[in-house]
C-alpha cells in the first residue's frame, strides 16, 4: 500500500481521553463526554477522508506506473526500429558508394573501348 500521510494519533488520543475518568461532576462530565465524542467522530471522519484520498492516490500511482512501463516498452521498440533503420541506411550508403565506384570504372572502360574503336576505324581507312 502507498505511504499514508494521515496519522491516527488524534483518534487514538481522543479515544484515550474518553476512557479516562473525569474529575468533573455529572453534567460537566456528560458535556465533556459529548464534546469528546463529537471531536472523536470528526477526527474519524477526517481520518476516513484521508484514507480514501490516500487510496485514490495509490490507485493513481499504480495507473501512472503502468503507463510509465507501457511508455518504456514503446520507447524500447522505437529505439530498436531506429537502430535497424540506421543499419539499413548505413548498408544503403555502402552499396551506393560501391555503385558509384563501379559506374566510374565502367565509364573509364567505356572511354577506353571507344578510343580503341576509333583507332581501329582509323587504321582500317
Within a domain: 2: no
Q: Residue 46's CB: how many other CB atoms inside 10 A? A: 13
Within a domain: 109: yes
pTM (2 d.p.):
0.52
pLDDT in tens, 10-37: 667 666 666 666 555 556 667 777 888 8
User: Domain total for the chain?
Assistant: 1
Say if residues 64 and 5 touch (Cβ distance below 8 Å). Answer: no
Mean pLDDT across 39-56: 90
Which of 1-15, 16-30, 71-85 comes out lowest in average pLDDT?
1-15
Range of the domain at 40: 9-124
Within a domain: 38: yes
Within a domain: 13: yes
Within a domain: 44: yes
Amino acid at each position: 500500500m502507498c505511504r499514508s500521510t494521515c496519522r491516527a494519533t488524534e483518534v487514538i488520543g481522543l479515544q484515550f481521553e474518553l476512557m479516562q475518568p473525569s474529575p468533573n461532576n455529572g453534567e460537566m462530565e456528560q458535556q465533556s463526554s459529548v464534546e469528546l465524542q463529537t471531536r472523536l467522530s470528526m477526527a474519524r471522519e477526517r481520518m476516513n477522508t484521508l484514507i480514501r484520498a490516500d487510496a485514490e492516490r495509490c490507485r493513481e500511482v499504480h495507473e501512472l506506473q503502468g503507463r510509465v512501463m507501457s511508455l518504456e516498452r514503446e520507447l524500447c521498440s522505437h529505439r530498436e526500429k531506429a537502430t535497424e533503420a540506421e543499419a539499413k541506411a548505413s548498408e544503403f550508403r555502402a552499396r551506393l558508394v560501391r555503385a558509384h565506384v563501379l559506374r566510374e570504372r565502367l565509364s573509364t572502360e567505356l572511354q577506353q573501348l571507344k578510343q580503341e574503336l576509333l583507332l581501329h576505324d582509323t587504321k582500317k581507312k
